[in-house]
Amino acid sequence: MLRVISIFKRDFKSSIRDNMLLYMMIVPLLLALGLKLFIPSANNLTVKFAIDKSLDKEVIETFEKYGEVELYDNKDKIIQRVNKMDDIAGITLNENGLLQAVIEGNEQKETPGMAKMIIKNINRNDKGDLNFIISNIGYKMSPVASIGSASLIIVSIMLGGMIIGFNIIEEKENNTLNALTVSPMNRKEFICGKSIIGIIIPIIQSLLMLWILDLFHVNIFMILVLIVSSSLIAIVLGFLIGVLSNNQIAGIANMKGLMLLVSASILGAVLLDSSKHFLLYWSPLYWSFMGLHGAILEIITWSKVGINVLGTLITTNIIFLVAKKKIRKGLS
């Protein structure tokens, strides 16, 4: 076990000292930040209001009927809250003691529109309910946010595999495998040690991405199960790229080919009609994506997760059996 951990620690140390591998570790987080920046409220379509605590209880209750209400002590705190990334309308009183909406300006049109209508309704003292309905198709999140988040997790899983591949290329370039072969370390320890980074890095990256995207309310355990099962295909492909590439340039070329497979699986899952999804059943990444997408949307049950994990494992196993001989030969 000590040897396995030592191999993992060496690989990690070496990876963070390699600009390209360091970039691979950081890029999913940067993409998540991008997703967060360019899609305000990507994670939630519920209209939210930041309301001054001192307002009438009746006013607060009125807003509670139409959306989520957050209470704040004063106008400054409300402005601070409105300035944050997501969509929220601030509700406070102006100098004349009338209700006013405080908005940032980049919100989706429903948020300020609804706030204005509710205020108008309260000011008119109209007892009737507003005719303002936001409907969705059962998802609590915009497709961009859910597909984007699931895709980023898949990308981080695949990059974990690539880090394994590039560490193997490093061993080949430096001929250090020979030095390890004449030590008591055995092949299983080598494979396990090399594989750890392909599981740990995507887990850490995914947790950070979920945090960045305000998605920590999803079932994290479910996500972790899906990441670990999906990591196996990344590990197999990482080893394959490692043994097939004699240098980093060849590794990059092979990685590009692999990313086509990733893109095809995700795009197919998103764009194809569900009746044609059987065309993607061969791809472990299809199963991974479907599971992760469902988990992020919180519409998947554990039994469905089980099916996705099983699909990932079966297809991974088939790919492993095809690649096994090549990997074994390349490592000897």
- List contacts with another protein (CB under 8 A): 2-3, 6, 10, 13-14, 17-18, 170, 174-176, 178-186
Asked whether the beta carbons of 268 and 279 are under 8 A apart, the reply is yes
Task: Give the amino acid at 282.
Answer: W
Find the shortest distance in angstroms from Cβ 242 to another protein: 15
Task: Give the amino acid at 53.
Answer: K
Nearer to another protein, 123 or 176 (CB): 176
The Cα-based distances of 73 to 70, 76, 89, 96, 188 in angstroms read 10, 8, 15, 19, 60
Buried b (16+ CB within 10 A) or exposed e, 214-246: ebeebeeebbebbbebbbbbbbbbbbbbbbbbe
Find the shortest distance in angstroms from Cβ 24 to another protein: 15
Find the shortest distance in angstroms from Cβ 22 to another protein: 11
Nearer to another protein, 6 or 301 (CB): 6
Nearer to another protein, 44 or 195 (CB): 195
Find the shortest distance in angstroms from Cβ 245 to another protein: 17
Geometric angle at alpha carbon 202, from 196 and 311, rounded to 5°: 90
Nearer to another protein, 105 or 184 (CB): 184
Q: Which two tokens stand for residue 182?
A: 């004449």
Nearer to another protein, 6 or 136 (CB): 6
Find the shortest distance in angstroms from Cβ 186 to another protein: 5
Nearest to 251 by CA among 260, 238, 261: 238
